């Protein structure tokens, strides 16, 4: 892996950190505000929402109400930590394993990371097919190229199609993000140029030393 692979990895990381994460958070906020919920907590306490999320975390559980919408997932997309971030168990003895045992915590969209925010958007927000697909692809690419990438590098062959896909799906969710994407790519080129200049300077100093007799 060369330095360029690393640079490309950092560009993609910055796109996720600076563009996709805030975009998901804004989208979630906009979605629950459209439904007339004041805050994320109220939205998460909505029966339909807590019921969906409950079954994304709990297997083989059948609820005391709304049984028709109970599901049983093969894999659990929501991990323990994420569930705990969203919901607290009500005080008192828990009679059964059911969504009615939990109440949402007071959290803001800005507290959620990309993965959790995307999961709520994808499963609970009726985004419409195109937006839903965009959220799915953006989450999947983060897992494939950043989270599960042990070399911390992205090759030239991967980078072109990946950036095209990121751009298409980001703009599907928000048309105004194009300038920001261009800025991030430019910033990283600049940084690379500065690093290269510093290195050439050090190298030339070494040569100069070698060439100058003491
Ligand atoms: Zn119950
Ligand atoms: Zn249920």
pLDDT, mean over the chain: 89
**Ion ligand 2 neighbours, Cβ < 5 Å:** 63, 70
Average pLDDT over residues 81-104: 91
For residue 186, name the pLDDT band (cuts at 50, 70, 90): confident
Cβ-count burial of 170 within 10 angstroms (0-12 exposed, 13-18 middle, 19+ buried)?
buried
For the stretch 53-86, pLDDT in tens is 999 999 999 999 999 999 998 889 999 999 999 9
**Higher-confidence residue: 195 or 119?**
119
The percent of residues in the chain predicted with pLDDT above 70, rounded, is 87
Ligand 1 center–CA 78 separation, angstroms: 20
Spacing, Cα 77 to ligand 1 middle (Å): 22
CA of 166 to the centre of ligand 2 (A): 35
Distance 55 CA to ligand 2 centre (A): 6
Q: How confident is the model at residue 214 (pLDDT cuts 50, 70, 90)?
A: very low
Better pLDDT: 114 or 214: 114
**Whole-prediction pTM value?**
0.86
Q: From CA 168, how far away is CA 175, in angstroms rounded? A: 10
pLDDT score, position 73: 87
Ligand with smallest separation from the Cα of 100: 1
Which pLDDT belongs to residue 12? 94
How remote is the CA of residue 66 from the centroid of ligand 1, in Å?
9
Residue 199: both structure tokens together: 């290195």
Find the ligand nearest to 63 CA: 2
pLDDT digits (tens, 9 = 90+) for 126-179: 999 999 999 999 999 999 999 888 888 999 999 999 999 999 999 999 999 999
pLDDT band (50, 70, 90) for residue 195: low
Q: Dihedral of the CA atoms 69, 70, 75, 80 (nearest 10)?
A: 110
**What does the pLDDT read at residue 165?**
97
Residue 165 CB burial class (10 angstroms; 0-12, 13-18, ≥19): middle
């Amino acid at each position: 892996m060369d330095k360029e692979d690393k640079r490309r990895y950092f560009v993609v990381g910055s796109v996720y950190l600076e563009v996709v994460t805030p975009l998901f958070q804004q989208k979630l906020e906009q979605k629950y505000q459209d439904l007339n919920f004041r805050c994320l907590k109220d939205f998460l306490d909505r029966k339909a929402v807590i019921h969906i999320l409950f079954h994304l975390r709990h297997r083989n559980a059948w609820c005391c109400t709304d049984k028709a919408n109970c599901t049983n997932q093969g894999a659990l997309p929501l991990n323990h930590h994420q569930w705990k971030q969203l919901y607290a168990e009500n005080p008192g003895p828990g009679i059964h394993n059911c969504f009615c045992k939990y109440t949402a915590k007071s959290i803001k969209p800005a507290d959620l990371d990309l993965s959790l925010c995307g999961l709520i958007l994808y499963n609970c927000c009726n985004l419409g097919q195109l937006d839903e697909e965009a959220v799915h692809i953006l989450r999947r690419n983060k897992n494939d190229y950043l989270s599960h990438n042990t070399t911390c590098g992205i090759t030239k062959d991967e980078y072109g199609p990946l950036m095209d896909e990121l751009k298409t799906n980001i703009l599907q969710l928000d048309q105004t993000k194009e300038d920001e994407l261009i800025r991030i790519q430019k910033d990283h080129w600049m940084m690379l140029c500065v690093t290269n200049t510093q290195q050439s300077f050090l190298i030339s100093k070494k040569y100069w030393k070698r060439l100058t007799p003491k």
